Amino acid sequence: MFLDRLGWLTLLFACFWLVLVSRTFQIQVLNQETYKEHAQEYAIRQMNLYAERGQILDREGVVFADNIKDKENKYLEYSRIFLQGKIASQLIGKVGYNGRGAMGLEREFDEKLRGNGGYLLSVQTARQKVIHGLEKDYEEAIPGKNMVLTIDRDMQEIVEKSLKDGVETYKATSASAIVVNPFTGEILAMASYPTFDPNQKLQTSASRAFRNDLVSLSFEPGSTFKVITAAAALEENAVDPKRKISGENGRWVLSNGDVIRDTKDHGDMDLTEAMTYSSNIIYAKIADSIGSENFYRFVRDFGFGTKTSEDLIGEESGFLKEPHNWSGRTLKTMGFGHELTVTPIQMVMAFSAIANGGKLMQPMIIREWRGEKNKVLEKNEPIEIRRVVSEKTAAHIREMLYQVVVNGTAKSVMSSKISNVDFGGKTGTAEKYSQELKRYDHNSQIASFIGFSPARDVRYVCMVLLDDPKTKTVGGLTAGPVFKNIMERIYFHPRLSPTPYNLVQVPNNKNCDIDFVGMSVANAQKLAEKKRCPVGFEGDGSVVMSQKISDQKEERLILKAGELGYSKMPDLRGLPLKDALEAMSSVRIPIEYSGKGRVTEQFPEPLSLVSKGQTCKLILKEKV
């Protein structure tokens, strides 16, 4: 019995062994190539190497957009982060979940910023661990190019703060402003309010906060367009600048029965007086004297009816009818900015031509493209499109616009804070066309002011628009003061100010070689005493807002006190980097970080006051 069982077991093992041998022969000999391919398929995996997206920086090298590693996202190796929060967000835009630009410059120049991805064919174990040194094929990812803007981060912040204040003060729907270097066409600041934080995920793109009205808004310019009419009249010698023209007692009835009105009867005025008091009647007459074809040619030469640049995403062309489509009153009403639409960028470039001596420049938003190690790959140079008026005409117009501020509709623009600095500019108030009413809505206006500073040695051209201000509606009492606030803040900025004292009024006394601006009054006084620097204080407040030399012989400094509005540090501990940056969006200090994961330490401490010169430092660590 035992032998029978042993025999059966031996036979069973023999059969099992024959099956194994047969199967091994089939795999290793008969189907060798098939199973070899399957083995390679399981052992070799392709790993995508994602290119790091290029940074976006301001003209001074301050980083707006950067990248952080995102290990939780299986589709992207890098996640976009916006280090300056809301500042310039409408211009810079956002990046979508697919890693491609979704708005603004991020979208317009996505291909350059995104770079080219690579791949790695690696050998893996059965547990999918990479065996280093056995890589089969490799193509390196090429990082995207770094975009350097013409924007200045500090000036952008000044503009955005002034717009926010303007919307709140005048209860406007929104506000926009742009600052340009008129000689190069470089856009130094471009902002609208309300705005948005690109680091926040849950946002709807339908919101007005996402719109860049400076390029996309098409509106009737109103009285600001009288500058174009005056320039055309002077170039064509259509009127004697000193000849008085009848103001028609403030009401001019045309031959077809239409009526053109002024706000009141200013009497008979010459070209400059009519600009100073913004007479629609006289500028309608001036346009009539220029003639349809000539006036249309000048309007086109100044850039109206066409886009200004290919780099400004969402830019509109405005609306300009050709003369054969004009009615009997079109020429007259265009003379004071009606029956055509323009964009803010067109208007500010036209005024820049007046400011720089007569040359229409192409607006520039990208200064250069850089590669690795900050190597400049492409550099944009200023582009002169054409000369539109002579230097003599441009100088005449600038003097006219200076009179508008000193004696005319823009007296509210004059600054009491900046001595010996003159502004020039023009106010505008235009009713918006209502599609529902099929006419201009008397209760809906766009108030505007375009000006330059200094008036006789221009450095900056700035345009401000307020949409539907509720407290006051005219541009001189709404957009004008916002312009003034922007300029005052620029003049008090030690790097941006165009006044020469920042260069020449440097004290020889090394004890006074101190920047007190931003310090508390108490600390400034202690430091001055410690350094033996004679100082005096003006104004009320706890913070030093500006400083100047009052006596060159004694080298005494006058420190002007005011309120800066300190911010408190939020508690960032435990937050991931993107959430921490979102929380810091209202605290305007530079941010530095090291490590990965969540914030474990922060400086300054939570709830402490932050002031000028401080930097927020974050230390991040991953959970162990």
CATH code, domain carrying 600? 3.30.10.20
- Same structural domain, 465 and 324: yes
Distance CA 111, CA 109 (A): 6
Distance CA 246, CA 253 (A): 13
- Note whether residue 13 is domain-resident: yes
- Same structural domain, 90 and 182: no
- Note whether residue 390 is domain-resident: yes
pLDDT for residue 3 is more than 60: no
Amino acid 328: pLDDT: 86
- Same structural domain, 221 and 284: yes
The least confident of 64-73, 239-248, 612-621 is: 64-73
- Same structural domain, 41 and 52: no
- Note whether residue 445 is domain-resident: yes
Element (H, E) at 35: helix 32-43
- Same structural domain, 141 and 166: no
Q: Which of 440, 466, 491 is the last residue of a domain?
A: 491
The least confident of 315-319, 366-370, 425-429, 469-473 is: 469-473
Residue with more model confidence, 501 or 456: 456
Amino acid 293: pLDDT: 95
Tokens standing for residue 320: 């300009």
The tens digit of pLDDT for each residue in 49-86 reads 778 889 999 999 999 999 887 555 444 556 888 889 89
Domain count, the chain: 5
Amino acid 503: pLDDT: 33
Peptide bond into 469 cis (omega under 30): no
Cα three-residue angle 624-74-121, rounded to 5 degrees? 105
pLDDT band for 506, please (50, 70, 90 cuts).
very low
Average pLDDT over residues 546-551: 66
- Same structural domain, 251 and 236: yes
Distance CA 610, CA 185 (A): 36
pLDDT band for 358, please (50, 70, 90 cuts).
very high
Non-local (6+) Cβ contacts of 390 within 8 A are 235, 358
Amino acid 504: pLDDT: 33
pLDDT band for 146, please (50, 70, 90 cuts).
very high
The least confident of 287-296, 510-519, 545-554 is: 545-554
Domain range for 332 is 153-195+213-369+379-491
- Same structural domain, 515 and 617: no
pLDDT for residue 122 is more than 70: no
- Same structural domain, 37 and 57: no
Amino acid 240: pLDDT: 94
- pTM: predicted TM-score of the whole model, two decimal places: 0.73
The tens digit of pLDDT for each residue in 202-229 reads 555 445 667 778 888 888 898 999 999 9
Task: Give Cα separations from 260 to 247, 299, 502, 552 (angstroms).
Answer: 11, 21, 49, 56
Cα three-residue angle 314-315-319, rounded to 5 degrees? 130
Residue 530, domain CATH = 3.30.10
pLDDT for residue 513 is more than 90: no
Q: Where are the beta strands (DSSP E) in 108-237?
A: 118-123, 137-139, 146-149, 174-180, 187-193
- Same structural domain, 169 and 282: yes
- Note whether residue 374 is domain-resident: no
Average pLDDT over residues 519-527: 86
Distance CA 65, CA 53 (A): 9
Nearest to 363 by CA among 380, 388, 387: 380
Amino acid 208: pLDDT: 61
Residue 120, domain CATH = 3.90.1310.10
Amino acid 206: pLDDT: 46
Phi and psi for 567 in degrees, rounded to 5? -110, 155
Q: How high does pLDDT run on average in the chain?
A: 82
Q: Which of 134, 149, 164 is the last residue of a domain?
A: 149
- Same structural domain, 447 and 318: yes
- Same structural domain, 524 and 600: no
pLDDT band for 375, please (50, 70, 90 cuts).
very high
pLDDT band for 505, please (50, 70, 90 cuts).
very low
pLDDT for residue 566 is more than 60: no
- Note whether residue 204 is domain-resident: no
- Same structural domain, 82 and 12: no
- Note whether residue 499 is domain-resident: no
Q: What percent of the chain has pLDDT over 70?
A: 78
Q: What percent of the chain has pLDDT over 90?
A: 41
The least confident of 40-44, 414-418, 581-585 is: 40-44
Q: Which of 128, 149, 170 is the last residue of a domain?
A: 149
- Note whether residue 496 is domain-resident: no
Average pLDDT over residues 345-372: 95
pLDDT for residue 107 is more than 70: yes
- Note whether residue 203 is domain-resident: no
Do residues 452 and 188 lie in contact, with contact meaning Cβ atoms separated by under 8 Å?
A: no
Q: What is the CA radius of gyration of the chain?
A: 33
